[in-house]
Amino acid sequence: MRRIRSGCAAAIAAVVVAGALAAAPAAPAGATPTGAALAAPVQPSAPAARSIVAAMQPGWGLGNTYDAIGADETAWGNPPVTRALISKVRSEGFRSIRIPVTWEGRQGAAPDYPIDPAWLAKVRQTVDWAMAEGLYVMINLHHDSWMWINQLATDHDAVLSRYTATWTQLAATFRDASNRLVFESVNEPTFSATTGDDQNYLLLNELNTAFHRVVRASGGGNATRLLVLPTLYTNADQPRLDALATSLTDLGDPMVATTIHFYGFWPFSVNIAGFTRFDAASEQDLTGTFDRVYDTFVAHGVPVIMGEYALFGIDPNYPAIIERGEIRKFFEFLGHHARTRKVTTIVWDAGQFLNRQTMQWRDPELFAQIKSSLTTRSGTASTDMVFIQRSGEITSRTLTLNPNGTDFQGLRLGSRNLLKGRDYTVAGDQLTLTAALLTELAGNRTYGVNATLQARFSRGVPWRIDIISQDTPVLSDATGSTSGCDPSGWGRCFLIPADVRGDVLATAEARYDDGSNAGPASWTSYQQYGNAFWADYPANAINLTPEFFNSITDGARVTLTFHFWTPLPTFRLVE
């Protein structure tokens, strides 16, 4: 094995594996739904509440902006909000906008906790723009949840006083706003120094009750304004839903809705533990989430808003965390299941979807998939990548189609319709690309994408299929020190020269010589893409992060195994 010496006294042996990924190991405890029994039916909300929530579909979330912690809304990298941005959101078919706001750092001292007038004016201006565009709007207390509200158990009176003072001011500011403005009590509520969830549920109920009392007592439009109440952590495990159902019954207010968040099956959402595909585990996690909120609330007349949804691994600066075809499958299925379960969805966009500088979607195909899923299903396939070994004989390749209730219509290359029988064949759900077609498309077999096909179905958006020439990746010697590592999570700590030769990195394993797991995620050998490693394709390197080296036992040797997407049953060691 080739050893890569580092300043943390851990020598690393690197292994390149080009082959189909093995079945992923089990997820950590707590990663799957609880499956507890349903609570008793709750009191249904008023028809007006259900109508408002239905009219909010679909929604867009103004992430990392007014919720940013810092001087102003640009603190986390986004430009100032403009009317043009709000108009763009509306023009793309969104019917509501969630405006998360962090008030910490923008308030004065006790007992009144006055909100900075300039900050409140910024928020109000954006609300007014959105209302003028005909959008529904939801505002909240956002990162305050973990910055000071979480201390309710240990600093009860001060926290509750500040919480009610904040909502008193917001209720007064927006007292006469249209009923298209919706209030959300708190984002992702969490509490520290408690005895467990039983106490957490009591504390959240106290917050929601105080919020309800303050807003309703302010009169005007607030007397009947739709109020949105979250579960603990805004999580959809059954005990969280049951606790909120009890709170709603106690309140007895027909103008309420509930809210949860969803970022997919966590191991898939961050690419850890070998969950590189939107597989049965991810699908079950998604359906379980929607089914539980439907059974607990929607089926009994209480509307549900999924106030945030996305995948954690979507990052425009590091686009390869999750394979793009698997991302599209996730959003296609989520949109479908949201419709069947009558849940209003608000996509969380911190800039990873809409580029607010150019007002263009960073991945138009993905946005088209998200938009299409709101009204219909789209066909997909087992993969969107067909690899051709550059130095080998070109043979036919077969993909499994997932029609999702649609009918396969054919293949297209640009504006050219490919011929069934000559260019491809179809047998049941098996789509085979002929050797003749692949030879034509590969051309001189330059590493990387040589051509892109579209599998077209009777409904929805086409399925992209990239034809890629590659050879088995090669890693080179690397020796150096980690003493000057960038401490940031995505820092370049140690670079392994990597000629990927057209292939795409999927995941990586790390083990000590005794076979035990190495790396930040000690419960699995498959480490998290980004947290432990990441591929820098322009630099022809694979980076190991500071977090990875900080987790390694001094003096120990670690073997890294890099799994690529090429479906070849071969591997080679870097010696």
Retrieve residue 316's tokens.
């425009």
Q: Determine phi and psi for 102, rounding to 5 degrees.
A: -100, 125
**How far apart, in whole angstroms, are the C-alpha atoms of residue 558 and residue 535?**
19
- Residue 285's Cβ-count burial label (10 Å; 0-12, 13-18, 19+) is buried
DSSP secondary structure string for all residues of 386-408: EEEETTS----EEEEEE-TT--E
Strands (E), 276-423: 304-309, 344-349, 354-355, 360-361, 380-381, 385-389, 397-402, 408-413, 416-417
Nearest to 532 by CA among 555, 553, 560, 556: 560
188 is catalytic: yes
**How far apart, in whole angstroms, are the C-alpha atoms of residue 230 and residue 258?**
6
Sheet order of strands, 416-417 included: 385-389, 463-470, 448-457, 408-413, 416-417
**How far apart, in whole angstroms, are the C-alpha atoms of residue 238 and residue 513?**
42
CA angle 306, 308, 309 (to 5 degrees): 90
Retrieve residue 186's tokens.
């708190």
Strands (E), 93-239: 96-99, 136-139, 181-184, 227-230
Catalytic option among 104, 133, 184, 308:
308
Residues 6+ apart with CB under 8 A from 63: 100, 308, 348, 349, 350, 351
Cα torsion at 165, 166, 170, 173 (round to 10°)?
60
Catalytic option among 73, 188, 323, 547:
188
| Active-site residue set | 188, 308
